[in-house]
Amino acid sequence: MAFPSDATLADVGEFALIDALAAHFPTAEHVLVGPGDDAALLRIRTGHVVVSTDLMVEGRHFRREWVSGEDVGHRAAAQNLSDINAMGGRAHSLTVGLAAPADLPASWALGLAAGIAEECATVGATVVGGDLTRADQVVVSVTVLGSCTVAPVLRSGASPGDVLALAGRQGWAAGGLAVLGRGFRSPRALVEAYRRPAPPYDAGPLAAQAGATAMIDVSDGLLAEVGHLARGSGVTIDVGTDALDVPEPLHAVAAATGADPVSFVLTGGDDHALLATFAADAELPEGFRVIGRVGEVAADDPDPVLVTVDGAPYEGAPGWTHF
């Protein structure tokens, strides 16, 4: 369905917009009832059902002058698909809630749908329902469902002696955000990384099959997520900076902003790289590289430091927090 290029959501109307949005999302063999009824009906065959929900709020997670509707669609889908990946599973279905001002261009909302559909297609998932309402700012809420064909990998399984490994690019989106925040658009590779993440979607199931003991995706900062693994597993984890990949564009941004290029990798989020722990003698799946070691919490330490960098506590925030 085509709308005039200058049409707003108020011009189009709720139900015409819903029909236009739904047209972006193909059906799939596991979808018995998709968009258009009170709820979707899915066929689940074997394994575990995995569910996750994330929000994206205008002004908090994105600014419309920095990203297009299609970009936001990619980002909203990616952060949810990555959560299923981090359990060792594969996403298959999403529901999307959109709250938006009446004067939002309809083309922006359709771009959002296109971006979500394109990102979902990379893992074979589809949108099966959602909701639409009016609000003072754009809010996108996505719930994703997936399945694990092997035992899901939790945050709580790491043991002393394990290695910590990383798959996917890390720090790129943080570098892009730093660039956009200063009113620039280059290095373009970093800006595009912020606008459209590239999570290693195949890495999660591969890690699970290879015996990963714990796993998490990097949404809010590498050290912050390492902290979640350490607390969940009751261990210490040391990250070695000499094992981290710090690409040249991050060095360029660091030089321009006076930042430490390694800090983008250690504390940046939104790339949705994958962290996993493995037994020290395990053969790592393709795409993973060892960046740290898991240790034991001293029994006589009342306030242990669970995460260290090069053997010492990290001075600074480990990542993003909302409150």
Res 22: pLDDT = 82
Please check if 272 is assigned to a binding site: no
Burial class (CB in 10 A: 0-12, 13-18, 19+), 222: buried
pLDDT of residue 2: 77
320 assigned ligand-binding residue? yes
pLDDT, tens only, 172-200:
999 999 999 999 988 999 999 999 999 99
Q: Mean pLDDT throughout 305-310?
A: 97
Q: What six digits make up the tokens of 321?
A: 């927090």
Give 1 or 228, the one with higher predicted confidence.
228
What are the pLDDT digits (tens) for 142-178?
999 999 888 899 999 999 999 999 999 999 999 999 9
Of the candidate ranges 4-18, 118-132, 208-222, 306-320, the one whose mean pLDDT is the lowest: 4-18
Residue 260, annotated as binding a ligand: no
Residue 172 annotated as binding site: no
Instruction: Report residue 162 CA to chain centroid gap.
Output: 25
At residue 27, the pLDDT reads 78
Long-range Cβ contact pairs of 27-34 (< 8 A, separation 24 or more): 27/126, 28/92, 28/93, 28/124, 28/126, 30/92, 30/93, 31/93, 31/126, 31/128, 34/126, 34/128, 34/129
**What domains sit in the chain, N to C, each tagged with a CATH number?**
9-148 (3.30.1330.10), 163-309 (3.90.650.10)
Q: Nearest 5 degrees, angle CA 232-CA 173-CA 61?
A: 75
Question: How, if at all, do strands 126-134 and 90-100 pair?
Answer: parallel
Kindly report the length of the chain. Answer: 323
Which pLDDT belongs to residue 39? 64
* Residue 53 in marked binding region: yes
Is residue 27 part of an annotated ligand binding site?
no
Helix axes 14-22, 106-121, angle to 10 degrees: 30
DSSP 241: G
Q: What is the DSSP letter of 285?
A: P
Provide mean pLDDT across the span 220-228: 96
For residue 61, say whether it is annotated as part of any ligand binding site.
Answer: yes
Q: Which residues is 217 bridged to in the sheet?
A: 274
1 confidence band (pLDDT: 50, 70, 90): low
Q: Is 24 annotated as a binding residue?
A: no
pLDDT band at 21 (very low <50, low <70, confident <90, very high): confident
Average pLDDT, rounded, for the chain: 93
Q: Is pLDDT above 80 for 59? A: yes
Dihedral sign computed on CA atoms, order 299, 301, 306, 311: negative
Establish whether 155 is an annotated binding residue: yes
Judge whether 131 is annotated as a binding position.
yes
Q: Is the Cα torsion angle 82, 83, 85, 91 positive or negative in sign?
A: negative
Q: Consult the annotation and say whether 268 binds a ligand.
A: no
126 is in an annotated binding site: no
Query: Is the pLDDT score of 38 beyond 90?
Result: no
Convert the pLDDT of each residue in 231-258 to its tens digit.
Answer: 999 999 999 999 999 999 999 999 998 9
Record the tokens describing residue 144, joined without a space.
Answer: 């994703």
Q: What are the phi and psi torsion angles at 94 (to 5°)?
A: -135, 150
Is the pLDDT at 45 greater than 90? The verdict is no
State the pLDDT at residue 323. Answer: 62
pLDDT at 33 over 80: no
